[in-house]
Amino acid sequence: MAEQLIPLPRIAAFENLGLGLFVHWGLYSQFGVGEWTQKIHKRPVAEYEKIAATFTAADFDAEDLARTAKNAGMNYIVLTTRHHEGFSLYDCCGLNDFDAVHSPAKRDLVAEFVAGCRKYGIRPFFYHTMIDWHWEGQETVNLSEKDFGRYLDYLCASVEILCKNYGEIGGFWFDGTWSRPKSDWQLGRLYGLIRKYQPETIIVNNTGLEHLGEYGHPEVDSVTFENNSAKPMNRTGCTKYIAAEVCKTMNYHWGRSENDFAFLSPRDVIEKAAHSRGCGANFLLNIGPEAQGRIPDYERSVLAILGKWVALYREAIYEPRPVTGVKCPGRDFILQAGKTYYYFAFDLDRQGDSNVMQSAHASALRGVCNFFTGKVKSACWLDDQSAVEIVQNPDAGVLSFYTPGFTYGSNTVVRVLKIETK
Q: Which residues bind ligand GLC (CB under 6 A)?
A: 24, 35-36, 175, 206, 208, 226, 247, 254
- The closest of 402, 334, 414 to 374, measured between CA atoms, is 334
Chain centre distance of CA 331: 20
Which of residues 245 and 271 has its CB atom nearest to ligand GLC in the complex?
245
Identity of the residue, 24 or 418, whose beta carbon is nearer to ligand GLC in the bound complex = 24
Query: What DSSP string runs through 28-64?
Result: GGGTTB-TTHHHHTT--HHHHGGGGGG---TT--HHH
Minimum separation from the CB atom of position 131 to ligand GLC (A): 8
Q: Between residues 84 and 277, which has the closer beta carbon with respect to ligand GLC?
A: 84
Q: How far is the CB of 271 from ligand GLC (least distance, A)?
A: 20
Closest separation in Å from C-beta 243 to ligand GLC:
16
Which H/E stretch holds residue 418? strand 415-421
- The answer to whether 276 and 73 have CB atoms below 8 angstroms apart is no
Q: Please, which residues have CB within 8 angstroms of residue 397's CB and are 6 or more apart in sequence? A: 370, 371, 372, 373
Least Å from the CB of residue 50 to ligand GLC: 21
> Please, which residue, 138 or 227, has the CB nearer to ligand GLC?
227
Shortest approach of ligand GLC to residue 117 CB, angstroms? 20
Q: How far is the CB of 46 from ligand GLC (least distance, A)?
A: 22
Q: Which is nearer to ligand GLC, 209 or 365 (CB)?
A: 209
**Integer angstrom CA distances of residue 119 from 9, 18, 62, 240:** 24, 19, 10, 33
- Phi and psi at residue 269, in whole multiples of 5°? -65, -45
Choose between 227 and 370: whose C-beta lies nearer to ligand GLC: 227
Least separation in angstroms between residue 296's CB and ligand GLC is: 17
Of 24, 7, 35, give the one whose Cα is nearest residue 296: 24
Which residues have a Cβ under 8 Å from the Cβ of 184 and sit 6 or more positions away?
Answer: none
- What CA–CA distance (Å, rounded) separates 104 from 53? 6
Q: In this complex, which beta carbon is closest to ligand GLC, that of residue 40 or of residue 364? A: 40
CA distance 312 to 254: 29
